[in-house]
């Protein structure tokens, strides 16, 4: 096609140009007008306090005011006299309306609750949802019942669900608080009727019930027959039942009622094949620590794609997250936070699981155990291009990355916000780990420690220089830090009391990749080993080992099923899980398992790099050679 000359006619066409600063500039002008009192055309009166403002802004942020002004209200003075409104809340809502920012004092929960109620009445959704999210983040055993009652009375459903789940998860501790007695009979009965209570024994449910009744015995003793119907007597021993029968709250008629519940009625099972409600275990009775393996395929077709090489890496798997129980050797499925392996994932000592994704859809997520889903949390200050690790320490999460601007970011769950903290230089071989609520950055040349009190890093005297060429991964266990190198030649241990590194073992399992995993509940060190069945085959078999600190050796425990074996790189951690809230293992193909591995590691000399046998606990026991 010939070029069109400058003097030739060109057919007109519509072209749109956008000003990216238009909305920010527009609202900046509105904010200034409000501050200067310019063009204000309406005055709100709440509890005798006046708030001059603009109809346009109020109608834009609140459907309540939009409806009020649209029906023809022309008065320039509007008195809003509602019990749920107070001047401070209106001031905060107006500040948000003119700036898009909401400032909250996180330690003033009653003020946040009042603001949530006012925002709900005025239909300012962002303010109400933000307040509810902050109240959820602030939940603890002391305030959760009051927050639950607040959510129920004000019909804030999401907060009601999350606070009830918190009560169930920490039921033994919550039931001992004064606020627990404020639950109504219907609320209490609904609570103890569910499977979700995290209790080790059914006696905890009865003890909580007896305490609740005795807090107002004259009014609540009438509810004892209903309470006894909720107690799962088949889960109690005969001795436990006798203790309940001898309780001063139990009368003769109630003893007869108890007798009818002692033997479970299995005829009521029906076609489900499962136990009747009265004999179903509570969540806490089945909870156990499991291995969470990201990247496990859950369909035969996906497995065949892996074997045939049609997928280049585990990150391309659109599968579920596998949970594997070393205790029962059962496989469970868990909802996956994304279509790829996360860039970083961590399990906190309290059992919360967080994952961060920085690929096509950057997200920061927390796992909801009882909802069996992932919940999005606040985004980091800056999404890192190359995230390194997500570490839990001192009640916060720390995200380490290679980015120069924000190499370290701190997430505070109590306020659901990220903060920038003191940075530390991270080279390719530096790993980060938490020990006794202290952060450590460990590299071949130096060991750094973070001081939370003054927000700074200090260099320690201990160094791995000349002892370990590169660090593959590191964990803390038993008051020490353990790390291994990429070549799997040795494992080093760090004693913080002595500020000293020494060799823990020079013999690791024969494998291509070894991932250290810590059992928080048992305070034991485990290792997940990968071994390719064929040099040309990207799929690997996995084997679980346990480290015997007294004998200084890795001991083979069991083989992980082949159906949970994918690529030589994977993401794995240990976390306390609730089997009833997980999916079944049928989601994974039933493949032939690997042959039993008999290589259990071997003893090694107690090698101390400086020749100083300074830690009696780290040497082999006297009986090892007998």
| Assigned token pair, 172 | 């033994």
Q: How far apart are the first and last CA of the chain?
A: 93
- For the chain (626 residues), the mean pLDDT of every run of 10, in chain order, is 58 87 90 94 95 96 93 84 94 96 91 97 97 96 98 97 97 97 98 97 98 97 96 94 95 91 50 63 96 67 59 51 87 80 89 87 92 93 88 95 88 94 88 94 93 94 90 94 94 96 94 89 90 62 89 92 60 92 73 41 44 45 36
DSSP 8-state secondary structure symbol assigned to residue 229 = H
> How far, in Å, CA of 397 to CA of 377, rounded?
12
pLDDT of residue 600: 41
Tell me what pLDDT residue 315 has.
46
Query: Strand pairing partners for 373?
Result: 368
Minimal CA–CA distance to 402: which of 451, 343, 468?
343
pLDDT for position 464: 94
Paired with 450 in beta bridges are 439, 457
Query: Which DSSP symbol is given to 354?
Result: E
**Residue 421, SS3?**
coil
Structural domains of the chain sorted by starting position, each given as residue range(s) with its CATH number in brackets: 22-138 (3.30.710.10), 287-581 (2.120.10.80)
d(CA 142, CA 147): 10
DSSP code, position 258: H
DSSP code for 300: H
Residues in the chain: 626
Task: Report how far residue 431's alpha carbon sits from residue 426's, in angstroms, rounded to the nearest whole number.
Answer: 8
- C-beta neighbour count of 459 within 10 angstroms: 12
Helices (H), 123-156: 125-137, 144-153
Radius of gyration from C-alpha coordinates of the chain? 30
| Contact between 127 and 119 (Cβ < 8 Å) | yes
77-79 β-sheet, strand order: 49-53, 42-46, 77-79
So what's the pLDDT on residue 275?
Answer: 59
Number of other CB atoms surrounding residue 401 within 10 Å = 25
Please give the pLDDT value at position 272: 47
pLDDT at 67: 92
Dist. CA 371–CA 287, nearest whole Å: 15
H/E element holding 203?
helix 203-214
How far is it, in rounded angstroms, from Cα 47 to Cα 38? 24
Give the ranges where 356-418 is alpha helix by DSSP (H). Answer: none
User: Could you tell me if 322 and 359 are in contact, meaning their C-beta atoms sit under 8 angstroms apart?
Assistant: no
Cβ contact 334:323 at 8 Å: yes
Closest CA to 117 of 140, 78, 88: 88
Which residue do the tokens 């039921």 mark? Answer: 171
Place of tokens 């999916």: 583
- C-alpha to C-alpha distance for 392 and 83, rounded to whole angstroms: 43
Residue 59 CA to its chain's centroid (Å): 38
- Kindly give the residue spans of alpha helices, DSSP state H, lying in 324-367: none
The whole-number pLDDT of residue 530 equals: 82
pLDDT at 552: 93
Judged on CB neighbours under 10 Å (0-12, 13-18, 19+), 55 is: middle
CA-to-CA distance for 500 and 57, rounded, in angstroms? 63
């Amino acid at each position: 096609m010939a070029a069109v000359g400058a003097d030739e006619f060109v057919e007109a066409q519509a072209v749109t140009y956008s000003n990216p600063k238009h909305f920010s500039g527009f609202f900046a002008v509105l904010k200034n007008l409000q501050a200067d009192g310019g063009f204000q055309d309406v005055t709100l009166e709440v509890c005798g306090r006046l708030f001059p403002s603009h109809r346009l802004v109020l109608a834009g942020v609140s459907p309540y005011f939009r409806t009020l002004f649209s029906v023809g209200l022309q008065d320039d003075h509007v008195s809003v006299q509602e019990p749920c409104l107070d001047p401070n809340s209106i001031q905060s809502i107006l500040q948000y309306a003119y700036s898009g920012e909401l400032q909250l004092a996180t330690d003033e929960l009653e003020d946040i609750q009042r603001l949530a109620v006012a925002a709900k009445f005025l239909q300012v959704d962002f303010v109400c949802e933000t307040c509810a999210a902050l109240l959820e983040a602030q939940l603890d055993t002391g305030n959760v019942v009051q927050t639950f009652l607040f959510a129920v009375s004000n019909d804030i459903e999401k907060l009601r669900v999350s606070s009830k789940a918190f009560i169930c998860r920490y039921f033994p501790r919550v039931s001992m608080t004064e606020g627990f007695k404020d639950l109504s009979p219907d609320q209490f009965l609904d609570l103890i009727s569910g499977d979700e209570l995290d209790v080790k024994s059914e006696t905890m449910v009865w003890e909580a019930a007896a305490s609740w009744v005795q807090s107002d015995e004259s009014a609540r003793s009438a509810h004892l027959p209903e309470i006894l119907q909720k107690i799962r007597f088949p889960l109690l021993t005969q001795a436990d039942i006798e203790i309940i029968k001898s309780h001063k709250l139990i009368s003769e008629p109630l003893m007869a009622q108890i007798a009818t519940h002692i033997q479970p009625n299995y005829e009521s099972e029906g076609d489900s094949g499962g136990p009747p409600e009265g004999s179903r275990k509570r969540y806490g009775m089945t909870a156990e620590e499991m291995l969470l393996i990201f990247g496990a395929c859950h369909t035969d077709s996906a497995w065949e794609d892996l074997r045939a090489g049609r997928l280049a890496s585990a990150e391309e798997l659109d599968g579920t997250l596998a949970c594997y129980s070393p205790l029962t050797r059962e496989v469970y499925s868990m909802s996956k936070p994304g279509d790829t392996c996360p860039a970083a994932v961590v399990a906190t000592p309290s059992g919360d699981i967080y994952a961060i994704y920085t690929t096509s859809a950057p997200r920061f997520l927390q796992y909801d155990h009882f909802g069996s889903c992932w919940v999005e949390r606040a985004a980091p200050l800056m999404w890192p291009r190359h995230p390194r690790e997500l570490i839990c320490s001192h009640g916060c999460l720390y995200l380490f990355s290679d980015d120069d601007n924000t190499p370290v970011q701190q997430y505070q769950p109590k306020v659901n916000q990220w903060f920038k903290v003191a940075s530390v230089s991270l080279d390719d071989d530096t790993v980060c780990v938490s020990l006794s609520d202290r952060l450590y950055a460990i590299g071949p040349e130096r060991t750094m420690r973070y001081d939370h009190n003054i927000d700074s890093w200090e260099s320690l005297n201990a160094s791995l220089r000349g002892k370990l060429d590169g660090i593959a991964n590191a964990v803390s266990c038993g008051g020490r830090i353990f790390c291994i190198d990429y070549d799997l030649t040795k494992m080093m241990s760090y004693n913080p009391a002595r500020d000293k590194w020494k060799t823990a073992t020079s013999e690791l399992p024969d494998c291509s990749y070894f991932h250290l995993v810590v059992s928080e509940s048992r305070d034991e060190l485990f290792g997940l080993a990968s071994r390719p069945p064929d040099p040309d085959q990207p799929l690997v078999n996995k084997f679980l080992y346990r480290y015997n600190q007294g004998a200084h050796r890795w001991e083979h425990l069991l083989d992980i099923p082949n159906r949970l074996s994918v690529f030589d790189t994977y993401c794995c951690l240990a976390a306390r899980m609730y089997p009833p809230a997980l999916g079944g293992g049928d989601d994974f193909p039933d493949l032939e398992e690997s042959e039993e591995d008999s290589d259990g590691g071997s003893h090694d000399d107690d090698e101390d790099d400086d020749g100083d046998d300074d830690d009696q606990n780290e040497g082999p026991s006297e009986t090892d050679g007998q």
